[in-house]
Amino acid sequence: MKKIVAQVLLLASLLPSAHAAIPTYDYKVVRSYPHDAQAFTEGLLYRDGFLYESTGLNGKSSIRKVDLASGKVLQSKDIPPQYFGEGLTVWGDTLVGLTWQTQTGFVFDLKTFELKSQFAYPGEGWGLTHNGKELIMSDGSSTLRFLDPKTFLEVRRIKVTADGIAVDQLNELEVVEGEIYANIWHTNTIARIDPASGKIIGWIDFGKLYPDAGKGQNAENVMNGIAYDADKKRLFVTGKLWPKIYEVKIVPRK
């Protein structure tokens, strides 16, 4: 716990107020949608009119297909109880998911959720997204790994920095208009990352979005979940155990 507190304090010194050189953005809520308040959200994505979500905790982990408007879970599959589900992304006609500390990833059929295969990776699994060519994975450190989507082997990596200082606790990921958006764990901030250099080129401050964030049991109901509808340019965010998903528009801070 002391380690986590120290990391959060370090992050606090890096986040919007301390770094005038890195622009800070605000948001406007376009619309809110119901969300399962029992879902310990780890991964979130938008595909063909639906949200796909992965949830965590041993014995409660799952992947889900969710109706955006109603929040209804249309389809779900439980992850075996020994695994703590983490990041999720879509690749072709499959869903690819990570687990936290068991160094195991799963590949599911997008339509049926049938398990097609699994793969191994070193270290922890946190967030997962893709850039159309590679899978992009976070592991809680300041490093993002780029994986071959066929072999799941690492092909390269970048270190994420803010004004030259490494920023860790990178969690849920989403590629948005060529940038990598990353939730910073235990904060209400999303970092906008240049995928070529790893430099943070913007902070998005969601401090007022959900006042109860971080105040639930064990303070784990934190912001975590980013999905992007590239066709309609819609950005969705939520958190672990949050009762709503928010469609937001990012705007410059005045």
Q: Give pLDDT tens digits for 76-95.
A: 999 999 999 999 999 999 99
Q: Give pLDDT tens digits for 143-187.
A: 999 999 999 999 999 999 999 999 999 999 999 999 999 999 999
Query: What DSSP line would sit under 83-144, residue for residue?
Result: --EEEEEEETTEEEEEESSS-EEEEEETTT--EEEEEE-SS----EEE-SSSEEEE-SSSEE
Q: Give pLDDT tens digits for 197-242.
A: 999 999 999 999 999 988 877 788 999 999 999 999 999 999 999 9
Distance CA 242, CA 254 (A): 28
Quickly count: other Cβ atoms within 10 Å of residue 32's Cβ.
16
Of the candidates 238, 240, 236, the residue with the CA atom closest to the CA atom of residue 249: 236
Quickly count: other Cβ atoms within 10 Å of residue 64's Cβ.
21
Q: What is the pLDDT of residue 218?
A: 73
User: H/E element holding 8?
Assistant: helix 2-14
- Reported pTM: 0.91
Q: What is the pLDDT of residue 9?
A: 46
Does 6 score more than 80 pLDDT? no
